[in-house]
Amino acid sequence: MLSSEIFNEILMTAGIGIDMGGTRIKIGLVREGKIMASTLIQASAHVNLDERLNEIGNAVDELLTTQKYDPKGIGLAFPGIVDPNGRKILSKYVKYPDAQRVDLMAWAEKRWGVPLVLENDARAALVGEWQYGAGQGCDNLVLITLGTGVGTAALIQGKLLHGKHYFAGSLGGHMSINLHGEICNCGHLGCVESEASTWALERIVKHSSDYHASALAKEAEINFNVVFKHAREKDQLAMTIQQHALKAWSLAIINLILAYDPDRVVIGGGIMKSKDLVIPYVKEMISRDTWINDHTVDLVAAEQVEYAGILGMCYLVDVLKEPLAIL
Ligand SMILES: [Zn+2]
């Protein structure tokens, strides 16, 4: 074999980030903080994770083959409570019913012979924003994502916050903000999610006494963009719901600031398409209604809207052998 042929067979390595969402799984190849290629597959979260891993593995292989990279390691972001040391999924997630029993490390080792790093999806997104997005240069950082659910994560003095049972900082969507609120899907009362998230919105709208008099009754699909649009057109119910949601998100962010004392809060999620509505409202509420000084905390929109989780996981693959050894 000619030396040039040998040289050609030495492939460059890339981290593989897998971000498991509720409806879609994003997969990306990352090298030096850049997405080299990515793909999407359906989550099909009603089936067992063990069955999904084969299709995820095939999608990863296709990316590696077409892009000509060798895998350096797998970084998997999971929407639930995980033990990043033991690489175990801990939460009894209603989706992927077998998730707690799946040996992810053995899967990565057997399929590619590489290590696997596991984190909660909001923590992965926080790391992505910290290293490559709106959190750069800031070692005391809180992330909140406003979307189908409300995800949160905290980084304190450059260390990801995990806690004794690995849920510290990550269940901010289930902080209670309304003593008189509805029971949330977690069983708790008046959570941020049950007061103001996309999954709860349709119930909130349709259970309102003035629903039938509202323009929202004529909408086929209810989401926050639709509510904000009708609020701009002075629909009474849309204005009430917009106000309630802005207040709920502000209370959530204030609670996170009081708990974790960050320099900066990065706000992400689909609802931040309306960041010009959300950020000024939260800022005003913080300066008007709390002891937190206006200049103490920056509030900024997320910058890595699509790939924060994948970039964050590949950063963890790059720097960590044991996830908690450094962070
Ligand atoms: Zn809850």
Tens of pLDDT, residues 290-310: 998 878 899 999 999 999 999
Between the alpha carbon of residue 131 and those of residues 165, 228, 231, 239, the distances in Å are 25, 32, 36, 37
> Mind listing the pLDDT tens digit for each residue in 144-158?
999 999 999 999 999
The CA-CA-CA angle for residues 253, 138, 317, to 5°, reads 100
Centre of ligand 1 to C-alpha 148, Å, is: 13
Mean pLDDT, all residues of the chain: 92
Q: Which pTM value belongs to this model?
A: 0.93
Centre of ligand 1 to C-alpha 186, Å, is: 4
Centre of ligand 1 to C-alpha 81, Å, is: 14
The whole-number pLDDT of residue 78 equals 94
The whole-number pLDDT of residue 176 equals 98
The percent of residues in the chain predicted with pLDDT above 90, rounded, is 84
Amino acid in position 150: V
- The DSSP element (H or E) to which 72 belongs, if any, is strand 69-78
Centre of ligand 1 to C-alpha 174, Å, is: 4
pLDDT band at 325 (very low <50, low <70, confident <90, very high): very low
Centre of ligand 1 to C-alpha 144, Å, is: 15
pLDDT band at 8 (very low <50, low <70, confident <90, very high): low
Helices (H), 68-149: 104-112, 121-132
Centre of ligand 1 to C-alpha 265, Å, is: 21
pLDDT band at 15 (very low <50, low <70, confident <90, very high): very high
Centre of ligand 1 to C-alpha 192, Å, is: 7
Centre of ligand 1 to C-alpha 183, Å, is: 8
> Mind listing the pLDDT tens digit for each residue in 214-257?
999 999 999 999 999 999 999 999 999 999 999 999 999 999 99
pLDDT band at 62 (very low <50, low <70, confident <90, very high): very high
72 pLDDT more than 60: yes
How much of the chain is in helix, strand and coil states, percent to nearest 5? Answer: 45, 20, 35
Q: How many residues in the chain? A: 327
17 pLDDT more than 50: yes
Centre of ligand 1 to C-alpha 189, Å, is: 7
Centre of ligand 1 to C-alpha 198, Å, is: 13
- Spatial separation of the C-alpha atoms in residues 294 and 271, rounded to whole Å: 24
Centre of ligand 1 to C-alpha 184, Å, is: 4
Centre of ligand 1 to C-alpha 21, Å, is: 18
Centre of ligand 1 to C-alpha 26, Å, is: 26
Centre of ligand 1 to C-alpha 12, Å, is: 44
Centre of ligand 1 to C-alpha 146, Å, is: 14
* Residue list, CB under 5 A from ion ligand 1: 174, 184, 186, 188, 191
- Spatial separation of the C-alpha atoms in residues 31 and 36, rounded to whole Å: 7
